Amino acid sequence: MDIIKKIYHLREANKRFIVTTMVESSGDTPVKTGLKMIIHDDGKTWGTIGDVNLEMLVIKDGLEMLRQAENGLKTYNLNKKSSKQEHKIGTEMQYNGSAMVYFECINPRYEVYIFGNGHIAQELSRILNKQKYRVFVIDDRKEFINEKLYPQVDERIFADYSKYSKHFEPARNSYFIILTCDCKYNYEILKNIYQRELNAKYVCMLGSKVEATASLKKLKSKIGKVDLENLYFQVGLGIGGDTPSEIALMIAAEMQMVEYGKDK
């Protein structure tokens, strides 16, 4: 498998990794422009950029950039003595030249779990950016979990809401949209998310102010002290509109607001 196919398969598997590319080399060096190496988040690699000693430095820098979710360009001095030139990293290698490496961080798509069928769920699943989100729709009515209603989602799941939310394993920083037709199911899903400490990025529950107040009271009584900074009851940004497509747009806008760290 060549490295381009490997990158494709890793992206399809929703893995987190960084791609390093030798964009320029000069002088007497063992590296060639265009060579690529993949660095996984556990430090394992695929491919090569031409020199083991240089790769050790690139792996170290790549893991830090992956942790910071940053792209960037670094220049490495391949001389035996470390260079004091600005922006160059000395490698203590016995060559006479330099190498410039580009780091491209590939983050997995955010996972979005939509509990409950309905027009809002259908509209939301259509407008979410498929390059950014993996969308899962969960419903306890089998006839509503089909490709015709949800042609673009990653997975359609027929399951009992309470049982599923007790055992599913979402990725960290996932988004949860609770849109069932029954407030008791809404609360059960909400409780399981916070009781299991699922590290949600965003939790949104459709319901009235009365339901929101009652759910919060029950949640605090059941779990005790809990951080609800990521919980949104008034569905979506208040930009106006009450049709399913407009409400879905407000939810998507609020998700983007949360992703980029903007204020409520």
Strands ordered across the beta sheet of 17-28: 45-47, 36-40, 17-28, 96-106, 72-77, 88-90
The residue-averaged pLDDT of 44-73 equals 91
User: pLDDT-derived band of residue 92, with 50, 70 and 90 as boundaries?
Assistant: low
Joined together, the tokens standing for residue 259 give 């992703």
Comparing 224 with 127, the larger pLDDT belongs to 127
Segment 15-38 mean pLDDT: 89
**pLDDT score, position 213:** 83
Q: What is the mean pLDDT of the chain?
A: 87
Q: What percent of the chain has a predicted confidence (pLDDT) above 70?
A: 92
Residue 129 in tokens:
């950016």
Q: Where in 31-168 does DSSP place strands (E)?
A: 36-40, 45-47, 72-77, 88-90, 96-106, 110-115, 133-139, 155-158
Instruction: Look up residue 82 and give its amino acid.
Output: S
In this prediction, residues 8-37 reach a mean pLDDT of 88
Separation between Cα atoms, residue 27 and residue 197, nearest integer Å: 54
pLDDT tens for 170-184 read: 988 899 999 998 888
Q: How far apart are alpha carbons 99 and 26 in whole angstroms?
A: 7
Least reliable range by pLDDT among 7-11, 146-150, 199-203, 234-238: 234-238
pLDDT at 39 over 80: yes
The pLDDT of residue 85 is 47
Choose the weakest-confidence range: 27-36, 129-138, 192-201: 27-36
pLDDT at position 83: 47
Comparing 78-82, 135-139, 143-147, 196-200, which segment has the lowest mean pLDDT?
78-82
Averaged pLDDT for residues 171-198? 92
pTM for the full model? 0.73
User: Residue 212 pLDDT more than 50?
Assistant: yes
The pLDDT assigned to 86 comes to 44
pLDDT value at residue 94: 62
The whole-number average pLDDT for the span 63-86 is 77
